Amino acid sequence: MEVSITKFIELEDCSKMAIKKRYEAVRRALNRYKYKKSSPEERKILVEAMQKYKSMAIREEKARIYNVMLYYYFSSCPLTDKQLTKLFNIDRRTVYKDIDKGIKDLTVILYGIGGIELLPEEESPAFIKAKLQEAITKKLTEEFGRG
């Protein structure tokens, strides 16, 4: 039985509140890992998620985000934000933006579609489809009007 993506999304709670809770849960889990307070099961799950993330980190920006996450949370001696700014030659604010992006990426890896913020209305497939239909209708009306 095939399930459409729309039906799948409807089954998963993708509200902003649910996604924010998942994002915060991942952040807390990473902090537990960093300070060696996580359970062996949690550690295993986070390491596996980072391995999946590594395979996604092909582009230079994603590779840097992955590396920032690795040094900030997973290193045997985690680096501070100041150390990361020097290591990667980036601004301190960029370190925190990279960490936020990395946590969002890990949330998607860990929760699948339940970790994805749905597109704003103007970027949603339904909105785009409606705009395309409107444009096609307008074009056809103009064509038939001339014919």
Q: Give the containing element (helix H, strand E) for 38.
A: none
73-88 per-residue burial string, b: 16 or more CB within 10 A, e: under 16: beeeeebeeeebbeeb
Region 43-51: what's the mean pLDDT?
94
Residue 130 has pLDDT above 80, yes or no: no
What pLDDT is stored for residue 8 in this prediction? 47
What pLDDT is stored for residue 60 in this prediction? 78
Alpha-helical segments (H) within the chain: 5-11, 16-34, 40-56, 60-69, 81-88, 92-111, 125-146
DSSP per residue, 92-117: HHHHHHHHHHHHHHHHHHHHGGGGPP
Q: What is the pLDDT of residues 2-11, one digit of tens each?
A: 545 455 445 5
Domains in the chain: boundaries? 5-116, 119-147
Q: What is the pLDDT of residues 83-128, one digit of tens each?
A: 999 999 999 999 999 999 999 999 989 888 666 654 445 555 556 6
Which residue carries 């040094």 as its tokens? 71
